């Protein structure tokens, strides 16, 4: 996926340029998506309308559907960054055009200027790829006329392809961990999907480790909100208290590794929705607190997907006793932990042991994915 922003002052012609670039890219066989950055509320979210009423009532997201298409309204968060949206919501696109975003650093930009609004450039030199202008501009970047759309499209594709092949940040992210190992491992992980049921102490730690390892897609489901008492062992921050765990976790994962896809479902997992939520997962991770929920997930998964492994956890309360931690296999079921310790007065879950067991799970998931070469066994 390639990402380019079209920036400029109001009235400079950003929208006109984008509407002309879209068919040029389409003629070259590319799927195109557009992100428009707005400084105000959307017209589809007008006060008094149903979508507005649903959001005012506290809905985390509202989806609007019609025979022609659909739109999803979410709360504005750090994940509203167009790079995150492109990577996680527009995954089918070959190229994403962003209208606006002149203040976003590190995003390649085409600046549009017109005599009527001023020919002074606003984009820092390190982010500026090209200029579209109807007059003379002081720049060492290529300058295109307002009607040079086809030439500009070809230039952008060549420039972006060159950057992608020379030193992609995505490959640089992985190079540190895989420089001395077979690149096949990273290729397998990038093509794999892992389901994680629960985003608490186990789930949040498992997700972070798998994101850092480079797993291409994580599907995470949990309906709980972050409480202050969670912060002593779960991968959240104090300013996230009160938010849905899966949404806060998705933002954290995107900050760590924006090159993977994170599907966050703020729902309670039950026997009826396991297949719908996690049906695309190559490996399933059980990360619940309660025994009944653990049993439900394990039984449902092994019944619906008997050919795919599930990695569960049992016995992680307290501290110390590293030697008792182990992994046991029962067919397609793997259990990590000591299988004995339970939360009780004086033996509460603590961050070190919870994280150790979670990483037992994550490490095993990576092993299972690599052993089967990214293909379902």
pTM: 0.59
Ranking 9-13, 84-88, 145-149 by mean pLDDT, the lowest is 84-88
Q: Span 96-112, mean pLDDT?
A: 85
Q: Is the pLDDT of residue 36 over 90?
A: no
Answer yes or no: are the C-beta atoms of 269 and 244 closer than 8 Å: no
State residue 164's pLDDT score: 46
Domain annotation covers residue 228: yes
Q: Are 245 and 337 found together in one domain?
A: yes
Q: Are 326 and 238 found together in one domain?
A: yes
Q: Which of 124, 129, 127, 135 is nearest to 13 (CA)?
A: 135
3-state helix, strand, coil in the chain (%, to 5): 40, 20, 40
Placement of tokens 């949404």 in the chain:
247
Residue-wise pLDDT for 360-377, tens only, equals 999 999 999 998 874 544
State residue 112's pLDDT score: 95
The whole-angstrom distance between residue 172's C-alpha and the CA centroid of its chain comes to: 18
pLDDT grade for 169, boundaries at 50, 70 and 90: low
Domain annotation covers residue 173: no
51: phi then psi, degrees, rounded to nearest 5:
-60, -40
Alpha carbon distance 218, 215 (integer Å)? 7
Q: End of a domain among 104, 132, 166?
A: 166
Domain annotation covers residue 174: no
Domain annotation covers residue 179: no
Alpha carbon distance 92, 170 (integer Å)? 18
Q: Span 58-81, mean pLDDT?
A: 70
Q: Are 62 and 198 found together in one domain?
A: no
Strand 143-144 and strand 217-221: the pairing is: unpaired
Q: Are 124 and 257 found together in one domain?
A: no
State residue 328's pLDDT score: 93
Q: Which of 326, 294, 330, 324 is nearest to 312 (CA)?
A: 294
3-state secondary structure of 217: strand
Residue-wise pLDDT for 229-258, tens only, equals 999 899 999 999 999 999 999 999 988 888
Domain annotation covers residue 178: no
Q: Per DSSP, which regions of 75-108 are E strands?
A: 95-99
- CA 169, 170, 171, 174 torsion-angle sign: positive
Domain count, the chain: 2
* Mean pLDDT, the chain, integer: 84
Q: Are 262 and 197 found together in one domain?
A: yes
- CB neighbour class for 87 (10 Å; exposed up to 12, middle 13-18, buried from 19): buried
Retrieve residue 216's tokens. Answer: 């291409």
Q: Are 141 and 33 found together in one domain?
A: yes
Q: Are 193 and 333 found together in one domain?
A: yes
Answer yes or no: are the C-beta atoms of 112 and 102 closer than 8 Å: no
Q: Span 75-103, mean pLDDT?
A: 71
Residue-wise pLDDT for 272-299, tens only, equals 999 999 999 999 999 998 899 999 999 9
What domain range is 36 assigned to? 2-166
Q: Span 342-351, mean pLDDT?
A: 68
Q: Are 22 and 57 found together in one domain?
A: yes
Domain annotation covers residue 177: no
Domain annotation covers residue 258: yes
Q: Which of 314, 262, 308, 263 is nearest to 288 (CA)?
A: 314
Q: Are 277 and 351 found together in one domain?
A: yes
Q: Are 243 and 354 found together in one domain?
A: yes
Q: Indicate which CATH number applies to the domain containing 285.
A: 3.40.50.720
pLDDT grade for 304, boundaries at 50, 70 and 90: very high
Q: Is the pLDDT of residue 4 over 80?
A: yes
Q: Are 263 and 326 found together in one domain?
A: yes
Retrieve residue 271's tokens. Answer: 């026997």
Q: Indicate which CATH number applies to the domain containing 47.
A: 3.40.50.300
Domain annotation covers residue 176: no
State residue 346's pLDDT score: 59
Q: End of a domain among 166, 195, 225?
A: 166
Q: End of a domain among 166, 196, 231?
A: 166
């Amino acid at each position: 996926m390639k990402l380019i922003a079209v920036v400029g002052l109001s009235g400079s012609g950003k929208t006109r340029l984008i509407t002309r670039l879209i068919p040029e890219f389409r003629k070259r066989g590319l799927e195109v998506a557009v992100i428009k950055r707005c400084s105000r509320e959307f017209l589809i979210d007008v006060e008094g309308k149903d979508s507005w009423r649903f959001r005012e009532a506290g809905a985390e997201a509202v989806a609007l559907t019609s025979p022609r298409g659909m739109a999803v309204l979410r709360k504005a968060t750090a994940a509203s960054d167009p790079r995150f949206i492109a990577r996680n919501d527009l995954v089918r696109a070959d190229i994403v055009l962003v209208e606006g975003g002149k203040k976003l650093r590190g995003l390649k930009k085409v600046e549009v200027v017109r005599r009527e609004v001023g020919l002074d450039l606003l984009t820092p030199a390190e982010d500026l790829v090209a200029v579209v202008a109807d007059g003379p501009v002081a720049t060492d970047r290529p300058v295109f006329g307002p009607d040079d759309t086809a030439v500009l499209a070809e230039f952008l594709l060549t420039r972006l392809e060159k950057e992608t092949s020379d030193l992609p940040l995505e490959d640089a992210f992985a190079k540190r961990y895989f420089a001395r190992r077979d690149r096949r491992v990273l290729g397998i992980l990038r093509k794999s999907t892992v389901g994680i049921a629960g985003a608490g102490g186990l789930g949040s730690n498992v997700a972070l480790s798998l994101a850092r390892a480079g797993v291409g897609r994580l599907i995470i489901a949990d309906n709980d909100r972050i409480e202050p008492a969670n912060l002593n062992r779960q991968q959240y921050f104090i300013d996230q208290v009160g938010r849905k765990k899966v949404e806060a976790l998705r933002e954290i994962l995107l900050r760590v590794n924006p090159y993977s896809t994170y599907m966050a479902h703020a729902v309670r997992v039950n026997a009826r929705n396991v297949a719908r939520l996690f049906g695309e997962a190559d490996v399933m991770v059980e990360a619940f607190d309660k025994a009944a929920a653990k049993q439900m997930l394990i039984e449902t998964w092994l019944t619906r997907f008997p050919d795919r492994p599930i990695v569960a956890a049992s016995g992680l309360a307290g501290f110390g006793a590293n030697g008792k931690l182990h992994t046991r296999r029962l067919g397609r079921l793997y259990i990590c932990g000591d299988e004995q310790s339970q939360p009780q007065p004086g033996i509460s879950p603590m961050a070190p042991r919870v994280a150790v067991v979670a990483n037992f799970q994550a490490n095993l998931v990576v092993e299972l994915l690599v052993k089967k070469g990214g293909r379902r066994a």
